[in-house]
Structure formats: structure tokens, C-alpha cells
Amino acid sequence: MPRFAFQVEYHGAPFAGWQRQADQPSVQGAIEAALAKLEPDVPSIAAAGRTDAGVHGWGQVAHADLQKDWDPFRLSEALNYHLKPLPVAITACAKVADDWHARFSAVEREYLFRIVARRAPVTLDAGLVWQVSNRLDIDAMQEAAQHLIGKHDFTTFRSSICQAASPLKSVDEITITDHPYSGGQEVRFKVRARSFLHNQVRSFVGTLERVGAGSWESIRVKKALEACDRSACGPVCPPQGLALARVGYPDPPF
């Protein structure tokens, strides 16, 4: 059975997350339903990461084993036809080795979180950003973010329902940048690591936003990390500003 890798883009708002669920719409379920229109008895697809309800993706990667040796372009075109009108698209498709795995072959994931700071309601980016009222101090947030880079016990920044075997993770990069935005400010958080705990990025951003707003000192982030206590975390920010932007592989399939 030939194995195919897919790069997937999706708007997370209509879905209860990536993972297939019995009674709620999911991105995985939508793609598997489209695959079933092309071939009977398609097995479950595997993805690089399970994004939560409301979280978006333009760099998600999945794979599936199919009966037919499809031309990758024709396969992506057929899937996109059957995915309409859902906000899910296959943006790239490639045939890969039988032992290649979307999750286990990946060596890093990169998430992007967007905050818009302005008083006027967001219209064009509604559902794609977290809106706050006042400008944020980029330098203060970047200084505080340095405490979170490296290998740490991230219990403080881990959801209580996280299923990871250990809270120990290594964060390779947190870059916070300022961008012009009509009537306000757009702040982008790029967070890169091999893997993440449940709600880790949203916990980071919600905590760092408190620093940028002037409510927390930078040292409080360090103390929160060292506390290894979920109650020491700042607010967990809403999902709509978060997107899985890229998955890295030693030998990229696309």
C-alpha cells in the first residue's frame, strides 16, 4: 500500500480540534471522509500534531496508506474537491517511504500566535487573532520569554488534562515581533520545539501578555516556571490566535 504525505491548511473555528470524535466535527474526520470518497476502507490517518478546538493550521502534516498508486497532484485535487465547502485544504501532497511517519519522523514543530492590540473591533482578522485593548511592550515580553527557552519541567504551563508522560520539554525558540496594524499593533509569537505539552503555547502567550501589559514583572515568569505549579501560570489565552505553522523533517517530503 503506497503511503502519501499531505500538508494541510484549515480554519479551526468549525471543528472540535484535529482528532476524530464520534459526535463532533474534526479536521481528521473531514479528511478521512474525503478519502473514503476515493477509496473504500481507508485506514485512519496520522498527523504531526493534535491541535485543539478552534486552533488553525497551515503547516499541519498527515499521512495515509492507500490502495491505489495515485499521482500526488491528482490526489490532492480530488481531496480538495471532496472537502468543499469545509475550510480545509490539501496544499501539498507527496508519496513517501513506507516507514515515514507524519508524527514520529518529525524533528520539530513551529507554532505562530497572533495578538492584535487596539480598541476598535477586529473585522478582517476576526477569528484569527486574540484581541486585547492596549499596546504591549515587546522588549519586556522577549526578556521574560528567555526564562522559558531550554529544557525545563513545564508543569506550570501544562494543562491538567495533558496526557504526556513527562512535563520535561525543550523549547528551542520564542521570538516575539511587532508589526503595524491599522489603528493598533500586531504582536506575533513564534514558538519552536521538538514537541509540546497540551496548552503549552497558549499558556506561554497568556503569561507573557501579562508582562507586555505591565501586570507582571519579567522575574515572575521565572518564578512561575520554577514553581512547577499550574496555579502559578498566567491566563491561558483563547485558541483563535494560534496556528500550527510548520513541521520540520530531516528530509522534507514537500
DSSP for 76-117, written as a single string: HHHHHHHHTTSSEEEEEEEEE-TT--TTTT--EEEEEEEEEE
- How far CA 160 is from CA of 15, 157, 167, 198, 239, in Å, comes to 22, 9, 11, 9, 17
3-state secondary structure of 245: strand
**Cα 46 to Cα 21: distance, rounded to the nearest angstrom:** 14
The answer to whether 47 and 18 are in contact (CB under 8 A) is yes
- Whether 99 is a known active-site residue: answer no
Active-site hit among 23, 52, 139, 153: 52
Decide the pairing of beta strands 56-65 and 168-181: unpaired
Grid look-up 508589526 returns 179
Count of residues making up the chain: 254
Sequence-ordered strand ranges (E) for the chain: 3-10, 46-47, 56-65, 88-96, 108-117, 130-132, 150-153, 168-181, 184-193, 242-248
Name the nearest CA neighbour of 149 among 104, 107, 209, 200.
200
For helices 138-145 and 218-227, angle between their N-to-C axes, nearest 10 degrees: 30
Residues designated as active site: 52
